[in-house]
Structure formats: structure tokens, C-alpha cells
């Protein structure tokens, strides 16, 4: 616990979201967990604050008014190459997650999120893509969310292909057997705030 706090306080954290209330609430929660939070609702200010403070961490919303958070990722990396960027969005899709990672985000979480999930993604985010939960056994939210998004994406493409497994696999860029294995598994049913 103290080690996580110590690593969190090594550098400031930039929080960028166009929802001022969300920024205030999450900023307060992250500050109480040891981060030095620099917050803004404006992408232009995000660039200036990055130049000024050289933050080690960034929590970035996908939708920033007229701007797109995805476009900001490479710009922030150009200013601070080793910045760990976590993209948040209320519009969860596997395509957005893949694009965020391609552009340099270290992790991706669908809203609503809690501060503990954000901290785990920032401090342990590199383990999520390479190891199926092995490095982060106490952080099921992000991997489960991504698995659910992947399942939904596969189902959407499968529907577009009228159930043709070979064509679906081709469009998804995966081997037919891999797709069949994924289809053989049941999707994650857990939904935030939902009850069975």
C-alpha cells in the first residue's frame, strides 16, 4: 500500500475531462491516494500543463467537448515520452480500446470507474495486455471489461457476416480456431450497477 503511494507521488498526475464535477470528484479521490493531481477540463490547458509540470501519469477522457482524447495521446507523449496514459470513456468499444493502445495509452477503462480501478490501471497497467490477469490478481475490473467488450465486438461482426465463422475470423484478423475457441466461452455477464 505504502509502496504504491510512494510510486504514485514520484510525479504529478494530469486529469483531463470536460465534466467539471467528475474532475473534482475523481481528482479529490486520487489526491487522497497519494497523487499530486493537476486537473483541467480543456485540451489546450492539458498541453500547457504537461509542458509545465511534466506529469508521470495522465487520466484522459475520450470525449473532450469538440476534441477527441485519442488525438491528444500522441501529443502528450511527444511532450513527456514516458507518461502513462489511462483513457476513460463512456462509449466503450473494443475498437476504441485498440486504437487507444495503438496511439500510446497504457490502459483503457469504461466509465463509470472508481478511483481504486484507476490507480491499479495506472500503476499496474502494463501487465494487463500481456498477461491474462496473472500480474494483477486483485484487479479484475479492467480485464473483465475488455473481455466483455471483445465478446460484444465479435458478436457484432459475426452478425454482420450472417454467422459465417471464416469471414468473421478474416475481418477480426484472427485464426478461425481462435475465434471458435472464443465463441465457445460464455461472455462475462457482470455489468456495473446491474443485478441478476
Give the global pTM.
0.60
Does residue 99 contact residue 70 with C-beta atoms inside 8 Å? yes
> Residue 120 domain-assigned?
yes
Please tell me whether residues 127 and 149 are part of one structural domain. no
CATH code of 168's domain: 1.10.10.60
Q: Which residues span the domain enclosing 179? A: 142-184
Count: domains in the chain: 2
- pLDDT digits 0-9 by tens, 2-37: 333 334 444 689 999 998 999 999 999 999 988 999
Q: What is the DSSP string of 80-125?
A: STT-EEEEEESS--HHHHHHHHHHT-SEEEESS--HHHHHHHHHHT
- pLDDT digits 0-9 by tens, 93-129: 777 777 888 888 888 888 888 888 899 888 874 443 3
> Residue 89 domain-assigned?
yes
Please tell me whether residues 154 and 75 are part of one structural domain. no
Amino acid at each position: 500500500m505504502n509502496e504504491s503511494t510512494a510510486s504514485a507521488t514520484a510525479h504529478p498526475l494530469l486529469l483531463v475531462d470536460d465534466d467539471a464535477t467528475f474532475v473534482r470528484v475523481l481528482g479529490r479521490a486520487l489526491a487522497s491516494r497519494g497523487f499530486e493531481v493537476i486537473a483541467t477540463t480543456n485540451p489546450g490547458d492539458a498541453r500547457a500543463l504537461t509542458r509545465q509540470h511534466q506529469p508521470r501519469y495522465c487520466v484522459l477522457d475520450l470525449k473532450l467537448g469538440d476534441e477527441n482524447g485519442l488525438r491528444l495521446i500522441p501529443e502528450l507523449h511527444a511532450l513527456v515520452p514516458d507518461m502513462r496514459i489511462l483513457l476513460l470513456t463512456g462509449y466503450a468499444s473494443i475498437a476504441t480500446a485498440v486504437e487507444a493502445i495503438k496511439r500510446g495509452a497504457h490502459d483503457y477503462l469504461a466509465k463509470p470507474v472508481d478511483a481504486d480501478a484507476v490507480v491499479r490501471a495506472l500503476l499496474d497497467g502494463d501487465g494487463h495486455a500481456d498477461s491474462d490477469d496473472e500480474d494483477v490478481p486483485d484487479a479484475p475490473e479492467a480485464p473483465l471489461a475488455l473481455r466483455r467488450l471483445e465478446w460484444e465486438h465479435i458478436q457484432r461482426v459475426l452478425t454482420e457476416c450472417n454467422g459465417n465463422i471464416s469471414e468473421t475470423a478474416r475481418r477480426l484478423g484472427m485464426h478461425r480456431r481462435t475465434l471458435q475457441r472464443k465463441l465457445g466461452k460464455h461472455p462475462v455477464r457482470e455489468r456495473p450497477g446491474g443485478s441478476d
